[in-house]
Amino acid sequence: MIKKVFFKDVTFENIRSVDFNKIIQKKGLFLFPSGPGLASIDSNSKYRNSLRKADLVFFDSGFFVLLLRFFKNIKVNNFYKKFYLINIFLQR
């Protein structure tokens, strides 16, 4: 599976959900860009620059993940929402 995807000068990290806890224990700026944010990346320079300068950028937009799969034949992990939902259910 591909480890990184480059889109509009932003490097997206494709990590496995089992590695997530180890990665977020490091210090840094970790971003999970939304679909609407990615749709406006060309016209919103502040948003684009913040993504470029982040330490790690992960896949969060399900639509972006689908577009990569269908148009570029790139399979990536969109685990953040799964991770978020699991944590919500475990807290109850």
Using the predicted structure, report yes or no on whether residue 59 has a pLDDT greater than 60.
yes
- % of residues, the chain, pLDDT over 90: 16
Can you spell out the DSSP letters for the chain? Answer: --SEEEETTEEEE---GGGHHHHHTS-S-EE---HHHHHTTTT-HHHHHHHHHSSEEE---HHHHHHHHHHH-------HHHHHHHHHHHH-
The confidence score (pLDDT) of residue 3 equals 84
pLDDT tens per residue, range 15-37: 877 777 787 788 888 888 888 88
**Cα–Cα dist 50/33, whole Å:** 10
The confidence score (pLDDT) of residue 47 equals 92
Token pair of 8 as six digits = 């509009």
The confidence score (pLDDT) of residue 49 equals 94
Using the predicted structure, report yes or no on whether residue 67 has a pLDDT greater than 60.
yes
The confidence score (pLDDT) of residue 52 equals 94
